[in-house]
Amino acid sequence: MKSATFRTEVHEQLERIGQADIIVGIPSFNNARTIGHVVRAVQAGLAKYFPEHKAVIVNSDGGSSDGTIDVVHNTSIDDFNAILLHHRVEPVSKIAFPYSGIPGKGSAFRTVFEIAGALDAKACAVVDSDLRSITPEWIELLVKPVLVGGYDYVSPLYHRHKFDGTITNSIVYPLTRALYGKRVRQPIGGDFGFSGGLAQYYLTKDVWQTDVARFGIDIWMTTTAIANGFKVTQSFLGAKIHDAKDPGTDLSNMLFQVVSATFELMNTYADIWMPIRGSEPVPAFGFEYTVGLEQVNVNTTRMLNIFREGLRNLGEIWRDILGAGDFGEIERLGALADSDFHFPIGLWTRVVYDYALAFHKGKLPVEHLIKSMTPLYVGKTASFIIGAKDMGQQEAEAEIEKLCMEFENCKDYLISNWK
Amino acid sequence: MTDFYQTGIITTLHQLGKPSLERLESELLGFSKVRPIALVLPALYSEFEGPAMPGIIQELTKVKYLNEIVLVLDQASEKDFQRVRELMAPIPTDVRIIHNKGKRITEVYETLARNGLDVGEQGKGRSAWLAYGYVLARGRSDVIALHDCDIVTYNRELLARLCYPLANPNLDYVFCKGFYSRVTNKMNGRVTRLLMTPLVRSLQQLVGHHDFLMFLDSFRYPLAGEFCMTTDLARVNRIPWDWGLEVGSLGEVHRNYSPRRVCQVDIAATYEHKHQSLSPDDAGKGLMKMAVDICKSIFRTLASEGVVFSDGLFKSLLVTYLRQAEDTIMKYEADAMINGLSFDRHEEAKAVDTFTKAIAMAAQAFTENPMSTPLIPNWNRVTSAIPGIFDMLKMAVDEDMR
Amino acid sequence: MEDFLNLILEPLKELFLKFKAFVPNLLAMLVILLIGFILARFIKLIVVKFLTAIKFDSWSDRMGFTTLMRKGGLWNKPSAILGGIVFWVVIIVTLMSGLNALQIPATDQLVGQFFSYIPRIFSAAMILIVGYVLSGFFSRAVLIAASNSGFHYAKILAEATHTLLMVLILAMVMEQLQIAPSIVLAAFSIIFGGIVIALAIAFGVGGIDTARRIIEREVTAKSEEETKDEIEHI
């Protein structure tokens, strides 16, 4: 395995620091607007909760042109007294540099793993650079279970709007849970804590030239940790609010990146998930609380329109992947009025499993295959939004739980067709 | 098919609106605990290599309510048999494959022959009959469904609708036949349209009211290969091993049960399968053979119910049939026109000519030897002749599957 | 009298001599044909075995060749058909070599032409196969992308892409085979140019209103989208 090459000044910095207990990685790309807040929160968190530990903040940048790195260098908390009762013993070092390799979040994380190795870190955490809702407590919640609790991997739990995170809720969470038998609620949350040992384990995997190096990194980290028997836990971080999304990100691209990474991992770990039945809860840290639900505008008419256009145009592809029976059901859905639209969970489960099987058997070129799923996903999402319109947080969560059970119950179908 | 007209003396279950397959299957799953269902599939190895069987397998992998699937594999070598086992493996239901050409099954057939039980020649009828025997021998199912393995447009909704009338314990049916429209860009199903219906109506014209003819005429698609029945019925029914299979089976159903307990169900919006070539000169194969067998089967059944077939009757029949068939062609031509289907009048007329010849040949064969019967004895008779036959059959299949 | 006999016998003798010279050639041809036939059967067997081993059939299913064949009424396995093609190519080559062995000037030239044409046939076949796969790939990419953005005419767009690419590829194939190259070029230019002009006119003259409506709808839809959809998918 070829290790990422650091520039000489990074090497010098690493040599100067020598050893560290905690590494906090912040991948960035043109996040000058928000990264200051994130760095401050991380610094405060480290100072407040880990005063006795030597900590390093690593900003792995994808070549920003808006001065993100400068913001990181210049951000410091002037008055620690405002948040701390006593002064910090160990200082927090900062390293900020542009990484090399394929551009993407995965490559940024890779350098974080390598620095963790070079500095022999005990615990690491990574947080997104566009977070608006991050607080110093996040660092404690992500790092402490590793440092004190003996866990290897900490995945986040957020409080989110019932309509948010639909790719997670309708595909990634139910699928990961049914496959690997662990109820990790936010497998692609984006903010994680992990042990130095696990970081080293990640580096032994030769995936850095694949899609994992780009956007599949979240699901890859979670799945690798679960599938290889690392001790996994969750921490409740509160609300997740980030900077407004880049309007250029296209939904089908997003779906493609996440779902193809998930399906690819199914190929890798087939021997591991095959024998697993049912699922077990994963312990969670943090104080759980509920937040009020603000009104979110969703245009289900437009979504259903995409579904119906998909049915009209991609029908032949779908029939090939789903088989005549389930395609007939999809056709039936296409004829329903907007208000009656309901995508049955059993059908959705088979759709996801059929796509996973089609991916495994290489029925279509990967990008075509998964992008052709977009209208189905949009239809399922619209159905959920219509159905959960008047539901509270708990009821909406119960719906997702039902879907997960369906995924678990239908797993035999997936297994018997997987060859 | 959107009308709701009840045809004749049996019950017709239509496809009304767009019923959800999801609901149908979940109900079936519930019923299947009270009335377990076996699916019998008579298949040739070539069908696994064609387009039909892979599609059928893909659909069957999603069916959960079946208790067992019995596949009778014909024209397959030992290697083919193993390959079929692999191909059927993804199906979650308990799949039993009867290797019809295998050593053990051949031995079973020989045992039957030694004991004076003539089970006829190899074909769909004999395969289905053997599969019923195996289902009865296992004694695990109450309902047997059967469909062909050459359906290119297979959809598991077909199976669900076919099984429903018998699986639902609130409905008291013992036999259910599928029907569908055989339309692509033209009308298919020539034998039903141009032979069966005109022939049955001509006979009604000639011999007057007759229960069996009424019964036959009630079916929208009497030659459909898809049906569902109780295991009791499978035990007492005798099955013809030739092309008269469908008509002969209906004859047996009519003889043993009241029409009130018989229904037909709309199972598919579209249906496409392998077509038989018209072979007007050779009575030994293709559509011609099929037509002759079907006519013989009708004559035989009617004769057994007391209808007298004289030379004169047959002569009149030919003329009446021709008239009926010509009228039918005109009806279908109009039907094709309004629906914008292509309609080759000449081809249709040629088919009628062929069928007329077939009726004449069947009449001759019947007159020469009215007793020749291609019926395989029913399982009650077989078990009384060879008490150990069920065990033997079960062992043969189980050994093969090992 | 003797002269007269000679007059008759001489041509016969000559014919016999020529025939005697020809017989070994004929024998050589027959032997070549026999060996060629056996070789062809053998190569076919090997090709089919090889294709089965590399799972050519399922690859062909995925690439859409099987469907193409089925549409053309061919129900054999793709590997068997390819084996058949190889068989016939070998047979034709042997036939040509056999003709060559006859050493008749007229056939010699034909054979020479045939062998110099083979590379063109081969490259044309390659262009056709690769082109078919690529045009299928691109038209499906267009179909999926257009459909996912809710574009109503996705199917037509994809079919148009497919047709245009196929026209381009067929022109390339014809060019490669040197079938009336000047006409192919002219026809291609006319068809391709014609399509473009037709589209331009259709949109320019007939479709001003429609185009405006489409653009307006797209614009309003866009602005609606930006204000309306607030959910996060990940």
Window 178-197 of C: residues touching B by CB (8 A cutoff) are: none
User: Does the pLDDT at position B283 exceed 60?
Assistant: no
Asked whether the beta carbons of residue B49 and residue C70 sit closer than 8 angstroms, the reply is no
Q: What is the mean pLDDT of residues C104-109?
A: 78
Q: Last residue of a domain, which of A256, A285, A314?
A: A285
Q: Are residues A308 and A280 in the same domain?
A: no
Q: Which of A247, A254, A363 sits opposite C234 (nearest CB)?
A: A254
Give the pLDDT confidence of B128-166 residue by residue, as tens digits: 999 999 999 999 999 999 999 989 889 999 999 999 999
Residue C227: its pLDDT value, please? 47
Q: Which domain holds residue A66?
A: 8-285
| CB nearest to B21's CB, from A325, A416, A417 | A325
Check whether residue A278 and residue A311 sit in a common domain: no
What is the C-alpha to C-alpha distance for residues C113 and C98, in angstroms, rounded to an integer? 15
Structural domain boundaries enclosing B392: 11-401
Q: Are residues A240 and A307 in the same domain?
A: no
C73 found inside a domain: yes
CATH of the domain at B153: 3.90.550.10
* Comparison of pLDDT for A250 and B294, the residue scoring more: B294
Number of compact structural domains in chain B: 1
In a domain, C130, yes or no: no
Write the secondary structure of chain B as one string of H (helix), E (strand) and C (coil). Answer: CCCCCCCCCCEEECCCCCCCHHHHHHHHHHHHHHCCEEEEEEEEHHHHHCCHHHHHHHHHCCCCCCCEEEEEEECCCHHHHHHHHHHHCCCCCEEEEEECCCHHHHHHHHHHHHCCCCCCCCCHHHHHHHHHHHHHHHCCCCEEEECCCCECCCCHHHHHHHHHHHHCCCCCCCEEEEEECCECCCECCHHHHHHHHHHHHHHHHHHCCCHHHHHHHHCCCCCCCCEEEEHHHHHHCCEECCCCHHHHHHHHHHHHCCHHHEEEEEEECCCCECCCCCCCCCCCCHHHHHHHHHHHHHHHHHHHCCCCCCHHHHHHHHHHHHHHHHHHHHHHHHHHHHCCCCCCHHHHHHHHHHHHHHHHHHHHHHHHCCCCCCEECCHHHHHHHCCCHHHHHHHHHHHHHC
Task: Note the pLDDT of residue A2.
Answer: 44
Examine residue B6 and state whether it is found in any structural domain, yes or no: no
Q: Is A360 among the domain residues?
A: yes
In a domain, C170, yes or no: no
Tally of structural domains, chain A: 2
Higher pLDDT, B286 or B271: B271
Q: Which two three-digit tokens encode residue B373?
A: 């019967």
Same domain (yes/no): A253, A307:
no
Question: A360 and A332, same structural domain?
Answer: yes
* Residues of the domain holding C30: 21-103
Checking if the pLDDT of C199 tops 80, the result is no
* pLDDT of amino acid A262: 94
In a domain, C34, yes or no: yes
Contact B61 A328 (CB under 8 A): no
What single string gives the DSSP state of each residue in A46-100?
A: HHHH-TTS-EEEEEEES--SS-HHHHHHH---S-GGGT-SS--SSPEEEEEEE--
Q: Tally A–B CB contacts below 8 A.
A: 46
pLDDT digits (tens, 9 = 90+) for A308-363: 999 999 999 999 899 989 999 999 999 999 888 999 999 999 999 999 999 998 88
A13 and A128 both lie in a single domain: yes
For residue A139, give the CATH number of its domain. 3.90.550.10
Spell out the per-residue pLDDT of chain A, length 419, in tens.
445 567 777 888 888 888 889 999 998 888 888 888 899 899 888 888 888 888 899 988 887 788 888 888 887 765 555 545 555 556 678 888 888 777 788 888 888 999 998 899 999 999 988 888 888 999 999 999 999 889 999 999 988 888 888 899 999 999 999 999 999 999 998 899 999 999 999 999 888 888 777 778 899 999 999 999 999 999 998 888 877 665 556 788 889 989 999 999 999 999 999 999 999 999 988 877 766 656 677 888 989 999 999 999 999 999 989 998 999 999 999 999 988 899 999 999 999 999 999 999 888 888 999 999 999 999 999 999 999 888 888 888 999 999 999 999 999 999 988 88
- In-domain check, residue B394: yes
* Residues A147 and A186 reside in one and the same domain: yes
Do A123 and A198 belong to one domain?
Answer: yes
Indicate whether C66 belongs to any domain: yes
Question: Which chain C residues are closer than 8 Å to A313 by Cβ?
Answer: 143, 146-147, 154-155, 158
| Domain count of the fold of chain C | 1
Would C150 be classed as within a structural domain? no
Does C229 map to a domain?
A: no
A neighbours by CB contacts (3+ pairs under 8 Å): B, C
Q: In C, which residues are within 8 Å of B49 by CB distance?
A: 77
Q: Are residues A345 and A258 in the same domain?
A: no
Q: What is the pTM of this model?
A: 0.83
Q: Is residue C1 part of a domain?
A: no
Q: Is A294 within the bounds of a domain?
A: no
With beta carbons under 8 A apart, name residues in chain B contacting C75. 50
The residue out of A232, A262, A285 marking a domain boundary is A285
If you measure CA to CA, which chain B residue comes closest to C77? B49
**pLDDT tens digits, residue range C145-185?**
888 887 888 888 888 888 888 888 888 888 888 877 788 77
In a shared domain, residues A314 and A193:
no
Highest mean pLDDT among A132-136, B307-311, B316-320, C161-165: B316-320
